[in-house]
Structure 1
């Protein structure tokens, strides 16, 4: 049986032959919107079966003429199919409304596709390959996660970072969700949703609690929310939700950083934020005026935004790069961390090993932050995850079980400890996970370990150099 990865590779190789497509971003976009059209057909089929069982009538998202199964399996020639999709289907989708589902699908196609393939025959071959995918047999939305992960990695390898966005391994997402423990009825939000991995996993987490019919309806009422700046990740996020039956998510295209956080209405605040914000991306300087502590560092802006988007008592679990923790040479970093500690409860920090995200385009060291809005921090529970993870040896849920068990008791051990807020203030808000229980080796360290330590120090040097470049 041909693997999903092999089929995606075959599709990409077909796209590379087209004269009108010029690089990885173009290939990603073409695959994304075609996969999306196929996913809509899967959703329509599910909705029809559910409606039939419950005796309800529903309005289809797409009229029958425009559904994948209708035009894809018609007797149209390659040229006719190419003309139909370009000049009839896409313009039609961009104008549909009357229901929230239709409006969401229309929003996906407002800026996609930006290009069309040149060859009608290559276009037809790609459609045939996508049509062969039987999505009903796939577990954990393998198409979406694998496509998104590999596309980000390829753009990173080509020197075209995806705006600081990096795919988040599912075991990390599941750990974050377990620690935050969202409840049915709470508003859950990812302001930098990418392919909506956090939203889909949160939905699955709540479904596992076996909600009643009324509670399940609540889950589908728009209390699970996401926002994404870029059109392709947004399309993938919508598709991911659709394939996981999360058709009631409230998803929005837009730049989160463009919102003036000083003017967030209390009614727009949420109970839970789960996210992996961009780090290393760039924003327009005019947007920095929206923040109390302006900086070009998007990871700092994201924390400032989250603190103001949460309700009092609201909780956040997020991925953050190491630079946010250790940097004390810029006021924006220090002031943001001071607010995080003095006005909010930073109750846990999980230090992740260097290279965990290397397989998806970045060697940055990262950490997990967990905090609650509205009450000052007394102390912070730290955990240091060790191990070497690569693309061929990805992190697993079992690798995080020790962290989960110790977190529940805030246990102290060789790889977990507690630091008082007062001590962190004395460090000028350097929040780095400095394990006091780690035994210093008196013997010579192995070369691999020395290389790892050098890489970690180089990351810190890179941050400082970038800062100097901005000042020059």
Structure 2
């Protein structure tokens, strides 16, 4: 958990960007990410050098980022000493020299680090732009970051999540930040293992992938001691795609700070015909965009065969089914319209889930969960790809509280259904005796088919109504007349008092 002292440091860094004229939240996070990377590179080499000195051996030059001698800057066509590119060196320069060194040399250096070799992050640096406007702003930011321990992955992971939480503006194309506690709930519902191959085809800042990595490192410590499992964790387990280069950089850094060094993160329009992933993943977790522009001509024909629609939320559900292996599982956030929409596209995707695969759960979330970004009502669909059907009954849960107020401020408050959701989902046998008057209950698949595959909880929930006995109209009228008489008499008495 981020401490008050570290939180204050991050707030000061954030404020330094604002006072320097950078007020776009994503731009701040991106520029901060570049500087984090610069410090991480130097800190990692300092650690290598310290170990080498302690055990009196020489580190091979090819294993060092900052070598002896000079580095040739391809943009200025000048040779620059490797030493001057190191955080521990340029942080001590005067502000003007530091600004020129970082902007003209260090930034160009990290853009040209062996693309694809050192980290997923370096793959997306080619299009990066240095936007810190002046030496004063850079000096304040460098000073703030210098006090953060980049070697402590747990702390830096919390720092990055805190920064993500400060992003106040929603993204484009229907994207907005998924609250961390909702992501955590979904991961705990799915219980990823070291054997999973996980994908989020609309990854954004990689929140779902990061939370899966945290869950696995926490719950599978012994298994990760196995060399093959550790190799799988670092190189094959985590996959993510996005169409925003900025978010790919941010997501890659987020993963790096959580101990995942080489995830398969790519720029990709997941719904397009360029994405040919099929029968590859064992687990998908996502909050795909609900709205936004869609190039109909580029949409994969295999997705349109499942649901012929222009709606991205329906096409992403079809994509999950195509990407998963048989037996693969998915938990995805969808807008409520997916549950009850009456277009052919809506009905076809619900029919596909219920009849050809195994739809396990529909968790209805309160409308304010995505405030202040959106007031849209959403639900979580949980299903398993089978290609052979298997839906016998569907578990519904009416989630009414998530531990935060449901207004624009979203301040923490008492009361959350999340622990109950997780507990009940992992003990579905105990739900058999629940009725539709309860907060959670089963609905047989035949009832769902009879209701045109409607998956909205209100279609099946029974509400107990108490009979209210009202007084007869003449009794109410007599009471009103009596009150009028009392008021009239009070006015008369008041006039007498006035003389």
TM-score bracket, shorter-length normalisation: 0.7 to 0.9
Is 1:363 paired with 2:363? no
The answer to whether the 8 Å contact 2:116/2:123 transfers is no
For 2:423, the equivalent position in structure 1 comes to: 405
**Counterparts in 2 of 1:443 and 1:250: CA distance versus 1, 3 Å:** farther
1:421 is displaced (CA, Å) by 2.5
CA distance in 1, matches of 2:267, 2:414: 31
The answer to whether the 8 Å contact 2:200/2:241 transfers is yes
**Counterparts in 2 of 1:87 and 1:244: CA distance versus 1, 3 Å:** same
Is 1:166 paired with 2:155? no
RMSD: 3.3
Secondary structure, aligned partner of 2:401 = coil
The answer to which structure, 1 or 2, has the higher relative contact order (CA under 8 A, 6+ apart) is 1
The answer to whether the 8 Å contact 1:43/1:243 transfers is no
Is 1:31 paired with 2:32? yes
The answer to whether the 8 Å contact 1:379/1:418 transfers is yes
**Counterparts in 2 of 1:18 and 1:193: CA distance versus 1, 3 Å:** same
CA distance in 1, matches of 2:292, 2:116: 35
Gaps of 5+ in 1: 445-472
Query: Which stretch has the larger CA shift, 65-74 or 196-205?
Result: 65-74
TM-score normalised by L of structure 2 = 0.76
1:47 is displaced (CA, Å) by 7.4
Write out aligned runs for 1:14-413 (5 A). 14-18=16-20, 21=22, 23-41=24-42, 60=63, 62-63=65-66, 65=82, 69-74=87-92, 76-97=93-114, 100-102=117-119, 104-113=120-129, 116-135=131-150, 136=152, 139=155, 141-151=157-167, 154-156=168-170, 161-207=171-217, 208-209=219-220, 210-211=222-223, 212-214=225-227, 215-260=229-274, 263-266=276-279, 269-288=280-299, 290=301, 291-292=303-304, 293-328=307-342, 330-359=343-372, 361-374=373-386, 375-376=388-389, 377-387=391-401, 389-390=404-405, 391-393=410-412, 399-410=417-428, 411-412=431-432, 413=434
The answer to whether the 8 Å contact 1:188/1:223 transfers is yes
1:23 is displaced (CA, Å) by 4.0
1:44 is displaced (CA, Å) by 5.5
1:303 is displaced (CA, Å) by 0.7
1:425 is displaced (CA, Å) by 2.6
For 2:449, the equivalent position in structure 1 comes to: 425
1:265 is displaced (CA, Å) by 4.9
1:301 is displaced (CA, Å) by 1.8
Larger Rg belongs to: 2
Query: Which stretch has the larger CA shift, 404-413 or 91-100?
Result: 91-100
The answer to whether the 8 Å contact 1:171/1:395 transfers is no
CA distance in 2, matches of 1:405, 1:321: 24
Query: Which stretch has the larger CA shift, 61-70 or 241-250?
Result: 61-70
1:392 is displaced (CA, Å) by 1.4
CA distance in 2, matches of 1:427, 1:61: 64
The answer to whether the 8 Å contact 1:382/1:416 transfers is yes
The answer to whether the 8 Å contact 1:173/1:201 transfers is yes
**Counterparts in 2 of 1:27 and 1:443: CA distance versus 1, 3 Å:** farther
Q: Deviations over 1:121-140 (max 9, x none)?
A: 22222222222233538648
Gaps of 5+ in 2: 68-81, 470-499
The answer to whether the 8 Å contact 1:424/1:431 transfers is yes
Q: Deviations over 1:53-90 (max 9, x none)?
A: 9x99785573253765334434x332222222222223
Q: Deviations over 1:174-194 (max 9, x none)?
A: 332233232322211111222
The answer to whether the 8 Å contact 1:225/1:250 transfers is yes
The answer to whether the 8 Å contact 1:43/1:242 transfers is no
1:436 is displaced (CA, Å) by 2.2
For 2:485, the equivalent position in structure 1 comes to: none
CA distance in 2, matches of 1:12, 1:341: 47
1:221 is displaced (CA, Å) by 2.8
CA distance in 2, matches of 1:222, 1:56: 32
The answer to whether the 8 Å contact 1:229/1:254 transfers is yes
The answer to whether the 8 Å contact 1:314/1:372 transfers is yes
Q: Deviations over 1:84-138 (max 9, x none)?
A: 2222223222322276324x2322312222x523322222222222222335386
For 1:457, the equivalent position in structure 2 comes to: none
The answer to whether the 8 Å contact 1:163/1:282 transfers is yes
**Counterparts in 2 of 1:33 and 1:296: CA distance versus 1, 3 Å:** farther
CA distance in 1, matches of 2:236, 2:255: 12
The answer to whether the 8 Å contact 1:39/1:242 transfers is no
1:345 is displaced (CA, Å) by 0.8
Secondary structure, aligned partner of 2:339 = helix
The answer to whether the 8 Å contact 1:384/1:433 transfers is yes
